[in-house]
């Protein structure tokens, strides 16, 4: 069974830091491009960023609202993805999901068609 | 990057059909066919329902269909069922310059 499990969420004051983890199982983790998506309470989904596979340089891309404040990294030996968040703002309050795109036949949708999702982890930034 | 525009809510009776629109720009919806739809029940993670405009992942019933014309995409659900009541989000690939992926604001579907 393919599974993603996020952890590391919690409450933090503005300006603080948190590191979220996303543990994968049942998937070819070393080949996967993995994306973080967040959802503020009562709001819609927002793309946060993505990391490519290590064979493709583990390149990262980030959304403008978080660029410069977050870093996505991966440890393929542990099949775990990380989201390091610094200088947190109140507007970063959200459930954070890690997700992987659908692979159909020989084609994988790395940056769209997010098929596998974790259960999410809640980050609350408040003073 | 602005969110794609969806109606806040739609409703329909069991057995009926509804359509949810998703309007973007010539830089996202109008430019790429990487248009997806997600269903999200309260407290749950999103579920992929449609990808590449009109393709269904394995296990998604054919009551769900997608289409696109210009800068507007649509999700149609036919034969509405009670369990279809959920929030629905569209998303489009936007290219690396503008931040890769943009989501719609979401539409609450109520089955009357």
| pLDDT grade for A104, boundaries at 50, 70 and 90 | confident
Residue of B nearest to A40 (CA): B105
Predicted pLDDT of residue B1: 59
Q: Are A26 and A33 in contact (CB under 8 A)?
A: no
Cα dist. A9→A21, A49, B43 in Å?
9, 17, 16
DSSP string, B45-89: --EEEEBTTTB--TT--TTEEEEEETTEEEEEE-S--GGG-EEEE
A40, HSE (Cβ side, Cα atoms, 13 Å): 11
d(CA B12, CA A32): 39
| pLDDT grade for A106, boundaries at 50, 70 and 90 | confident
Residue of B nearest to A44 (CA): B105
Which residue in this structure is represented by tokens 């959304």? A63
Share of chain A above pLDDT 90, in %: 90
Question: Do B34 and A46 count as a contact with CB atoms less than 8 A apart?
Answer: no
C-alpha of A26 from chain center: 18
Predicted pLDDT of residue B98: 65
The shortest CB-CB distance from A112 to any of B3, B93, B96 is to B93
Query: What SS3 state is found at A55?
Result: helix
Q: What is the mean pLDDT of residues A78-88?
A: 98
To the nearest whole angstrom, how far is the Cα of A125 from the nearest Cα of chain B?
20
pLDDT < 70 stretches in chain B:
1, 97-98
Q: List CB contacts of B108: < 8 A, sequence separation 6 or more.
A: B8, B9, B10, B87
Q: Are A125 and A66 in contact (CB under 8 A)?
A: no
| pLDDT grade for A97, boundaries at 50, 70 and 90 | very high
Predicted pLDDT of residue A105: 81
Q: What is the mean pLDDT of residues A21-50?
A: 96
């Amino acid at each position: 069974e393919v599974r993603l499990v996020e952890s590391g969420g919690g409450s933090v004051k503005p300006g603080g830091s948190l590191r979220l983890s996303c543990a994968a199982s049942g998937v070819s983790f070393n080949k996967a491009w993995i994306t973080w998506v967040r959802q503020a309470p009562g709001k819609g989904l927002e793309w946060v960023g993505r990391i490519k596979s290590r064979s493709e340089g583990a390149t990262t891309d980030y959304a403008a609202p978080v660029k410069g404040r977050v870093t996505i990294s991966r440890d393929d030996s542990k099949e775990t993805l990380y989201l390091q968040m610094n200088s947190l703002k109140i507007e970063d309050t959200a459930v954070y999901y890690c997700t992987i795109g659908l692979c159909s036949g020989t084609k994988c949708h790395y940056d769209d068609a997010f098929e596998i999702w974790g259960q999410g982890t809640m980050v609350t930034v408040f003073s | 990057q602005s969110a794609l525009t969806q109606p806040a809510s739609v409703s329909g009776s069991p057995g009926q059909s509804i359509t949810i629109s998703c309007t973007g720009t010539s830089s996202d919806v109008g430019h790429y066919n990487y248009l997806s739809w997600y269903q999200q029940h309260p407290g749950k993670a999103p579920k992929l329902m449609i990808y590449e405009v009109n393709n269904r992942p394995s296990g998604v019933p054919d009551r769900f269909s997608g289409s696109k014309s210009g800068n507007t995409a649509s999700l149609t659900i036919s034969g509405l069922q009670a369990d279809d009541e959920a929030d629905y989000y569209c998303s489009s690939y936007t290219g690396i310059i503008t931040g890769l992926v943009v989501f719609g604001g979401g539409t609450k579907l109520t089955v009357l």
